[in-house]
Chains A and B, each alone.
Chain A
Amino acid sequence: MTKRILLAIGVVGIVVGSLFPFIWFLLTSLMSQRDIEAVPPTWWPSGGLHFYRSALFDHQLTDYMLNSIVVAGSTTLVALAVGIPAAYALARLKLPGRSWIMGGLLCISMFPQIAIAGPVWQILERIGGLNTHWGLVLPYVTLTLPLAIWILASFFKELPTELEEAARVDGCGVWGALLRIMLPLAAPGIFTAAILIFVYAWNEFFFALLILTQPEQQTLPVGIALFQGEFTMPWGELAAASVLATLPLVLLVILFQRWIISGLSAGAVKG
C-alpha cells in the first residue's frame, strides 16, 4: 500500500515538475501583451497566436529554424556516415587497442568546450569556416561521434556473428557485410543514435555562439539566447519562439521515448 502511495506521489511529481515550466511558457506564448504586463500576472491567456506571428516574421525565427534544420540535419548525416563504419570496426573487427580507442572517445565526450574552443576557432578562421554552417558541423560531428560510436557499437555487438560470416561466405567483403546485412539489422540503433545526435546539434549553444556571429547564419539557441526587443524584453515573442524551438524535440520524445532511453543508457550498464 505504501508503495502505491509513494508511486502515485512520484508520478505526479515527475509529470508536474517536468512539464510545469514549459506549460507556463506555453501559456505565456498564447497571452496578449496586456496579459503579460498585468500586475499581478494573470493565469489565463487571451492573446491567440499573435506572438507566434510576431516571433516568426518580425524576429526572423523562420531563418533561425531553417539554419538549425540545416546544421542539425547535416551533423546527423555526417556523424552517422563517419560513426557507423568506426563503430562496426570497433565492435566486430580485430583491432589492436580497441578498448583504448573506446575509452579515449569517452574522455573526449567529456572535454569542456572551453578547452578546445580557442584552437577550434583558429582552425576555422584559417580554413574560412567561421560564420558558415559547415564550420559549425565540423566540431559538432567531433563532439557527437563518441556517443554515436558507443551506441552503435553496443548494437553491432549484439547482432549474431554467424550472419556476418554467412554474408562473407556468400560473397561479401567487409564493407558488403556491413552495408547489406549489418546495417539493416542495426537500424534501431542507427535510428537511436540519429535522434540523439540531432537533439545535441539542435540544442548546442556554446560553439554556435562562437562560430556564428552573423544573424543570418545563427541557429535557434543563439537566436533565443540573444533575443532582444526594442525597449523591453519581448517575453511573449520569446515564449512563442521557445515553444516553436522545442516542439520538434517534444514530438521526438513522445514518439521515440523508448529508443531514446535505450540509447542514453547504452554502454552505461550493459553486460
Chain B
Amino acid sequence: MADLELRNLTKQFGETTILQDISLHVPDGSFTILLGPSGCGKSTVLRIIAGLEPQTEGQVFIGDRLVDGLSPKDRDIAMVFQHYALYPHLTVRENLAFGLKMRGEPRNVIEPRIEEAAQLLEIHSLLDRKPKDLSGGQRQRVAMGRAIVRQPKLFLFDEPLSNLDAKLRSSMRIELKRLHQRLGATMVYVTHDQVEAMTLGDTIVVMEGGRIRQVDPPGRIYSMPADPFVAGFIGAPPMNLLEGSLQHHGSHWILQTDSVAIAIPPVKGPTPIEPISHVALGIRPEDLRLEKSGEPATEIEVRVEAVEDLGSDLILHLSIGPHRLTMRTHPGRCPVEGTTIPLYLPHDKLHLFIDDRRADWA
C-alpha cells in the first residue's frame, strides 16, 4: 500500500493542452474518484500514473518514489480497463496468473493468490473458461481479480463499469466498495458517472478542461460546489443557475439578470459600490419550496411550464422571465400547468458564485 502524489502535471499534444498543472495527493488507503465529462483529461491522468503515457511536465510519486521514466511494469500498479482487456487466448486462471508469472513468482506463490482472489470474487467455477465464454459481469470480476492477485501498491480503474447494464452496474458498485474496505488498498478510479463517484469514493476529484475543479469528499462536493461547473455537473436534475450581476441597493442585495431582479441575503466582504458582474446564483431543484416556512426565503413568481410525474418524485419545469428553473418535489400538491404560482428560495440553500468562484454569505 502506498500513497500517490502528482505534482504540477501538464500534458501537451502538439499545440493542444490536455492537462494543466494537475497537483493531487491521494492518501494511503483512499478510494479517490476522478470525475468529469468526457475529454476532461481524467483518463490521461490515470494513464500517466500507470506510465502508459508520458507527461509533458511534472512528477508522479507512488509511495514517495519518483516513478517518472519507469515503464508500467516497474511501477507496481494494477489497472482495470474499460473493456476489461482479458487476454482472449488464455483461460481465466492463466489471465489471473499472467502478471505474477511475468514477475517470475513461483507456482507456490501464484496458486494460493489465485485461490484467494477467486474466493473473494466468487469466480471459482470460471477458472478454466476462456474470456469469450463469460458474461459481462463475470469478465468484470476476472479483470478485478487480475488486479487483486498482484497485490500492487496502487489500483487504477478506467471506467470499469461503463460497459455493464444498469442493474449489474449497481451491484458491482456495492461489491467494489466492499472490496476496497476488505483490501484497504489505495485506489484511483476514473468515471464520468456521478452516481458511481458519489457512492464509491471517499474523495472526488472533479475535472474539467484539463484542470482540477474541486477535490473534496462526496458530501461536500454536493453541498459546497466550488464553482458553477461543479455545481451544474453534480446532481440530477442539475442545479439551477441564474447569471447576472450583484448589486447593492440601500440595505438590499440583489441579483440582477437581464430581466429579473432577485433579492438575496447579504454577501460577505466589503459592500460594492459598482455592480459586480459575472455572478451566478444557484439553487438545487430539491431545495426550492412551494410553501413559505419559518426560515428566511425569497419569494418569486414563476409560471408552471410542465409537470413530470416520476411516481416517487414530481419534476416541475418553471420559468421566470426568460429563465428556466427545475424543481423536484414530492407528489402531493401538484400545481396546474400554465398557472403562475409563488416560489420560495430558502436563503440557507442558495449558492453564490462570483467570477466562477464560490462566495460566502455574510
Contact = CB atoms under 8 A, between A and B. Distances in A.
Tell me, yes or no, whether A and B come into direct contact in the complex with CB atoms closer than 8 A: yes
Contacts of B52: 165, 168-169
A173 interface: yes
Interface in B37-56: 50-52
A168 B81 CA distance: 12
- Which residue, A168, A169, A184, has most C-beta atoms of chain B within 10 A? A169
B83 A169 contact: no
Nearest to B74: A171
B85 to A, nearest CB: 4
A169 B78 CA distance: 6
B275 interface: no
B307 to A, nearest CB: 45
A169 B98 contact: no
A208 to B, nearest CB: 38
A162 B43 CA distance: 13
A89 interface: no
B71 A173 contact: yes
Contacts of A170: 73, 78, 98-99, 102, 146, 150
Nearest to A172: B102
Interface in B62-93: 71-73, 77-79, 81-85, 87-89
A173 B70 CA distance: 11
A26 B127 CA distance: 54
Nearest to A159: B88
Contact of B77 (A162, A169, A181): A169
Nearest to B152: A169
Interface in B306-329: none
A49 interface: no
A176 B88 CA distance: 16
B103 interface: yes
Contacts of B51: 168
B73 A173 contact: yes
A184 B89 CA distance: 7
A143 B252 CA distance: 86
Which applies to chain B's interface (DSSP): helix, strand, loop or mixed?
A: loop
A75 to B, nearest CB: 27
Given A162-B82, A162-B83, A169 B89 contact: no
A168 B71 contact: yes
Given A163-B87, A185-B88, A185-B89, A171 B73 contact: yes
Contacts of A171: 73, 99, 102-103
Contacts of A162: 81-85
Counting chain A residues whose Cβ lies within 8 A of the other chain, the interface size class is 10 to 19
Contact of A165 (B78, B84, B85, B98): B85
B56 to A, nearest CB: 15
Nearest to A171: B102
A168 B98 CA distance: 11
Contacts of A163: 85, 87-88
A196 to B, nearest CB: 23
Interface in A38-71: none
Interface in A143-171: 160, 162-163, 165-171
Interface in B100-142: 102-103
A171 B79 CA distance: 12
Contacts of A160: 83, 85
Interface string A15-36: 0000000000000000000000
A165 B79 CA distance: 9
A168 B83 CA distance: 16
A172 B51 CA distance: 13
A174 to B, nearest CB: 9
Tell which of B79, B84, B85 has the most Cβ of chain A within 10 Å. Answer: B85
B72 A165 contact: yes
B73 A166 contact: no
B98 to A, nearest CB: 5
A94 B265 CA distance: 58
Contacts of A166: 79, 81, 85, 87, 146
Nearest to A176: B102
A185 B89 CA distance: 7
A169 B149 CA distance: 13
A167 B146 CA distance: 11
Contacts of B83: 160, 162
A165 B102 contact: no
B70 to A, nearest CB: 11
Nearest to A162: B85
Contacts of A185: 88-89
B163 to A, nearest CB: 12
A27 to B, nearest CB: 46
Nearest to A160: B83
Interface of A: 160, 162-163, 165-173, 176, 181, 184-185
Top 7 closest A-B pairs, CB basis?
A171-B102, A170-B99, A166-B85, A162-B85, A171-B73, A184-B89, A168-B72
Given A168-B72, A170-B73, 5 more contacts: A162-B83, A165-B52, A166-B85, A168-B51, A169-B72
